[in-house]
Amino acid sequence: MNFDFSDDAKALGEQAKKLFADKAGTAPARKAMASGAPDFDAGLWAEIANLGWTAARVPEAHGGLGMSAEESCQLAEAAGAALAVVPLVSTLLATEALLIAGTEAQQAKYFPGIADGSLIAVPAWNEPGAVTPATVATTASGHTLTGSKAPVPDLPGAHLAIVAAAGPDGPSLWIVDLNDALVEPVETLDLVRRHGRLTLANTPAEPLGDPAAYQAWLDRAAVILAYEAIGTASAAMDMTVEYAKTRIAFGQTIGRYQGVKHKCADMFIKIELARAHALHGVAMIGSDGAELRQAAAAARVASLDALSFTAEETVQLHGGIGFTWESDCQFYYRRARALTASLAARGWWADRLVRALELRNRAAA
């Protein structure tokens, strides 16, 4: 089995890296942090929409390009590396939910706007306090939702939310028009990406599939978010390696010291291990493989391990300046903390991986 990306996906990834190299990165991130602007970079978002990235996974019948999950993952990795202040990853996750669970009428209603970038849809999963995908506090009654979601990445400026809510048969996904809900900006440790609080009080909502579809979406979301985390971790590692090659201490570059070399090597190994798991996840999405659940959970766990380790060591290896406000290390550390909490904690995904492996082993016995 070939676990590499297709040539088309690689080309799209290179295109994304090139645009983000010109229009995103740490300098625009610092500007966004300082400005406190309430939502995303509208100019960059328009360019992204014109390039068709928002249409990548949307079926051709609804104005999209009908690409595979590989393209979504390449875009997520590029956005993660660039710290881009646009709701691209959230849009990719919402698109995946509509692909899995949307009715033909729902897809016809929402996909054209998502494809041309005029309709911004974001998933709303996080809730105040410690919750898991199995213990969602937001409740569904009839066609209304009640509860609160926060922090929700990219919520300010969005038009539609894909909300996880508990019903009589378990948690599932719902579509909420944000004109019907209360949206407030909230500040998180990540001062670059915009977050918000969504308050629902008997708010009208459309059901989006059943509890099984919600579980299937979690698997796909885990793979896409793994690539976002890998992108952020890779950018932090690159910055650290470059610093180690140029910073002089005691008459030589610090990269010549074994302690620094080993830390950089450990970053690389953890990132490549995460990349291998994530590649397995993409392959399982593309083939609708039976191993998707375990591959997605493994990708989520490995990518969070790689991102947390790399972000923390980036600060340490930059020495005293790594702890300062002026250092760019903070962007990767802050983003790492936000991504770690973006779709259930590492422990929940580790348990999901164990359960999937136990199920596979029982089936093979």
CA angle 78/226/26 to nearest 5° reads 40
Give the H/E segment covering residue 148: strand 144-153
Q: What is the CA radius of gyration of the chain?
A: 20
Locus of tokens 């019948």? 61
The whole-number pLDDT of residue 2 equals 63
The rounded percent of the chain whose pLDDT value lies above 70 is: 98
Residues whose CB falls within 8 Å of the CB of residue 256, separated by 6 or more in sequence, listed in order? none
pLDDT > 70? residue 235: yes
Beta bridge partners of 197: 184
The whole-number pLDDT of residue 71 equals 95
Mean pLDDT of the chain: 93
Average pLDDT on 34-46 reads 84
The whole-number pLDDT of residue 333 equals 94
- In angstroms, the CA 153 to CA 257 distance is 40
First to last CA, the chain: 24
CA angle 9/11/15 to nearest 5° reads 115
The CA-atom distances, in angstroms, between 15 and each of 7, 52, 73, 86, 307 are 12, 11, 13, 16, 24
The whole-number pLDDT of residue 131 equals 75
The CA-atom distances, in angstroms, between 242 and each of 53, 185, 202, 238, 296 are 30, 36, 53, 6, 32
Task: Give the strand pairing for 248-249 and 252-253.
Answer: antiparallel
pLDDT > 80? residue 36: no
The whole-number pLDDT of residue 357 equals 93
Identify the band that residue 341 occupies on the pLDDT scale cut at 50, 70 and 90: confident
Average pLDDT on 206-217 reads 96
Summarised one tens digit per residue, pLDDT across range 71-109 is: 999 999 999 999 988 999 999 999 999 999 999 999 999
The whole-number pLDDT of residue 1 equals 58
Return left, alpha or beta for 122; rule: phi > 0 is left, psi -120 to 50 is alpha, else beta: beta
Contact 223, 299 (CB under 8 A): yes
Q: What is the dihedral of CA 96, 201, 338, 305, to 10 degrees?
A: -60
Identify the band that residue 63 occupies on the pLDDT scale cut at 50, 70 and 90: very high
The whole-number pLDDT of residue 90 equals 96
Q: Does domain 213-364 have CATH number 3.50.50.60?
A: no
- In angstroms, the CA 18 to CA 358 distance is 43
Give the H/E segment covering residue 122: strand 121-124
* φ, ψ at 140 (rounded to 5°): -110, 135
Contact 74, 5 (CB under 8 A): yes
List the single range of 196-205, 209-218, 342-351 with lowest mean pLDDT. Answer: 342-351
Residue 304 token pair: 């969070």
Identify the band that residue 59 occupies on the pLDDT scale cut at 50, 70 and 90: very high
Does this model's pTM top 0.75?
yes
Residue 187 three-state SS: coil
The rounded percent of the chain whose pLDDT value lies above 90 is: 80
Domain ranges of the chain: 213-364
The whole-number pLDDT of residue 130 equals 66
For the beta carbon of residue 360, count every other beta carbon within 10 angstroms.
14
Summarised one tens digit per residue, pLDDT across range 299-330 is: 999 999 999 999 999 999 998 888 888 899 99
